[in-house]
Every structure is written in C-alpha cells, then in structure tokens.
Amino acid sequence: MKSILVLVLLFAVAQFAFAEITENYGWEGTQTILGNYGDIIATIDTEQTHGGSQSLKLVDDDESGTPQAYVGWVVGLSDGDQVTASFWRYDTTPTAPPSCRIWGGWNDDPDDIYDYGGSASGQSDYGPGTGWDLAEYSWTVEGGHSGLVIQVRTYSEAGATVWVDDLTITAPDGAEIRTPDYSAALSPDTWAAIKATF
C-alpha cells in the first residue's frame, strides 16, 4: 500500500513538473500585432479566414528584407523550457513570394518587446502556397534567455500580402503568454496588486 501511495505521489509531482499553459488567438477582435521589424502593414481582414470571421492581413511595405510581425511573446522562461507555437497561413503562390514562416527571437526584457537578444531560428518550410496550411515550430530555451518573441516572418516584395489565423502558443506553467490583445496595464503583477488592495 505504501509503495502505491509513493507511485501516485511521484506521478502527481511529474504531472505538475510538466504542466503547460496554452493560449489561442484568432484575430476576432481589433488588435493586430504586438510589434514589428521592418515595414509591414497589419490589419484585421475578412477576405481570407481560416477560423471565425476575421484574420490577420500582412502587407509588405518594404522594398527589401524580410519584415516580421510579432504575434506572440512568452516571458518568464528558463533554460530547458520548451515553447511550441503554430498558426495557419495563407498564400496562393507556390514556390514564389509572397510567403511566410514561423520564426522566433530571444527577448530578455519583459517590459520591452524590442529588446532583441538574437535569433531563435524557426521553421524552414515556406508552405505549399496553395491556400491555408499550418506552420508550427518548437523552441527549447538556452543561453540564459527568459523570453521569446514569436514572429510571422514574410518573404515577398512591396505590396505583397499574406494572411495568418488561429495562433496557438504552448509554454511551461509559470511562464506568461502574451498575444496581440495583451495589455501591460492588466498583467498578472498588476492584477495581484489590485486584489491585494481589497
């Protein structure tokens, strides 16, 4: 009986140690992106949708380079933590721009999404260019980084358009996942302060 109790406790501890949190975002409101690198125009759109009635429309407004839209931000990470993100992407140009892929950048300042700590790399696949397909990637935190910015990295020319919808981010319990509707004014620290007041 004692050994069964020990096994049950070990199982419970293991489940707690590997607990995860997940956030989904479908661009059904008015918020588009958390930030960007390069010239990219981000709007809410109804022309192409994967789920719901709206999606994120990204128009390349840059003559060169690979503009990036910051669609997710995970803070409170430690070495060895794993973050997985996915979104559906839409383009209809097989083997040619415009296209996009899921990418990441390390970030170590939970108050500044533009605190760039180096590339975290990402997906090598640009997609088939035949409509909607799922882009997905997993990162393992290393190098003492504490944050990860999840990006839609576009490959196109000025005026080219891609669509993104149904973002999902999974991170370890204890981290904080921020999507475009995130408000610093209502972060967990602020909520804790409000609750302590009452």
The percent of the chain in helix, strand and coil, each rounded to the nearest 5, is 15, 45, 40
Model pTM?
A: 0.84
Alpha-helical (H) ranges within 85-187 are none
Per-residue pLDDT of the chain (198 residues; tens, 9 = 90+): 555 544 444 444 444 456 999 999 999 999 999 999 999 999 999 999 999 999 999 999 877 778 999 999 999 999 999 999 999 999 999 988 899 999 999 999 999 999 999 999 999 999 999 999 999 999 999 999 999 999 999 998 888 999 999 999 999 999 999 999 997 543 444 334 333 433
Whole-number Å distance between alpha carbons of 163 and 100: 9
Contact between residue 102 and residue 86 where contact means Cβ atoms under 8 Å apart: yes
Report CA-CA distances (Å) from 42 to 2, 75, 80, 154, 178.
Answer: 59, 23, 33, 12, 18
How many Å apart are CA 103 and CA 70, to the nearest integer? 9
Please state whether the peptide bond connecting residue 94 to the residue before it is cis, i.e. omega within 30 degrees of 0: no
Domains within the chain, CATH numbers bracketed:
17-183 (2.60.120.260)
Tokens representing residue 7 in the block: 């096994």
H/E/C letters for each residue in 28-45?
A: CCCCCCCEEECCEEEEEE
